[in-house]
Amino acid sequence: MTTSTGTDWPAWQESWDRQQEWYMPDREDRFRIMLDMVEALVGTAPRVLDLACGTGTITARLLARFPQATSTGVDLDPALLAIAQGTFADDDRVTLVTADLKDPDWTARLPHDAYDAVLTATALHWLHREPLTALYGQVAGLVRDGGLFMNADHMIDEATPRINAAERAQRHARQDQAKADGAVDWADWWRLAAADPVLAAPTARRFEIYGEHADGDMPSPAWHAETLRAAGFAEARPVWSSPSDTLLLALK
């Protein structure tokens, strides 16, 4: 859909997907399993909180698979939210909220007190352990009994340093080859956004907020599971993994 601003929002969504796949070739696999588990545990018409939603990647796949679902997307990034707003402007199933997940009162901005599922991907590694632990406590308060939380992200087991190093070297070699073949990486993508007449201003604001990149912690799946159980979830474990990433599911 090209809007009156002349911006082709589907093209921006597509370019974001391709850029993210440069880092994660198996990106769609985690989304497929994520939605499989949503269906298995809370059905095909869930009320979902898309946490750190970015451009609305999860929301788009959620609604394509489950047309009766609704989604609240929350993020702080003004550029990615601009793409999400352009994408879902005419969809009354989607509500977008600007909020900082490190703000203790961010949940007050949400339109609902409870959700069937809270979903997030490749975002919470920007947080260190202490704020992430606090966030997990808030998420536990938002998920209804019988509902679920899923986080697909980089989760590193520090007990396997040689495996980690070998995986990292192989992944980076493949990324370098893809880059040489013309793939757009993170820095390239943001340069394109900064040059776009509609996205230039929100992109500038985005870098004022975050800088080039915020490096948080990437603790192991076991840490995430233990922390989520301590926050109030009854069960928590991985339901999918790649050599570098894990999709962890916590059930209330």
pTM of the model: 0.95
C-alpha to C-alpha distance for 92 and 142, rounded to whole angstroms:
22
Q: Sheet holding 143-154: strands in order across?
A: 94-98, 70-75, 47-51, 115-121, 143-154, 245-251, 235-241
By the 8 A CB rule, do 73 and 111 touch?
no
C-alpha to C-alpha distance for 204 and 206, rounded to whole angstroms:
5
User: C-alpha angle 21/24/30, rounded to 5°?
Assistant: 105
pLDDT in tens, 123-159: 999 999 999 999 999 999 999 999 999 999 999 999 9
For the chain, give every domain's residue range. 24-159+212-251
Distances from the Cα of 119 to the Cαs of 196, 202, 231, 252, in angstroms? Answer: 30, 25, 16, 14
Q: Are strands 143-154 and 115-121 parallel, antiparallel or unpaired?
A: parallel
What is the predicted pLDDT for the residue at 211?
A: 81
When pLDDT is cut at 50, 70 and 90, the band that residue 4 belongs to is very low
C-alpha to C-alpha distance for 239 and 242, rounded to whole angstroms:
11
What is the predicted pLDDT for the residue at 243?
A: 92
What is the predicted pLDDT for the residue at 215?
A: 74
User: C-alpha angle 190/196/198, rounded to 5°?
Assistant: 115
Burial 185-206 (b: 16+ CB within 10 A, else e): eeeebbeebbebebbeebbeeb
Taking alpha carbons only, the member of 218, 241, 21, 207 closest to residue 124 is: 218
Task: Tokens for 232, please give them.
Answer: 């109030």
pLDDT in tens, 105-116: 999 999 999 999
**Given a cut of 60, is residue 3 above it in pLDDT?**
no
What is the predicted pLDDT for the residue at 178?
A: 87
Average pLDDT, the chain: 95
CATH number of 24-159+212-251: 3.40.50.150
When pLDDT is cut at 50, 70 and 90, the band that residue 19 belongs to is very high
Q: Which helix (H) or strand (E) holds 44?
A: none
pLDDT in tens, 32-79: 999 999 999 999 999 999 999 999 999 999 999 999 999 999 999 999
CA quadruple 96, 188, 13, 224: dihedral positive or negative? negative
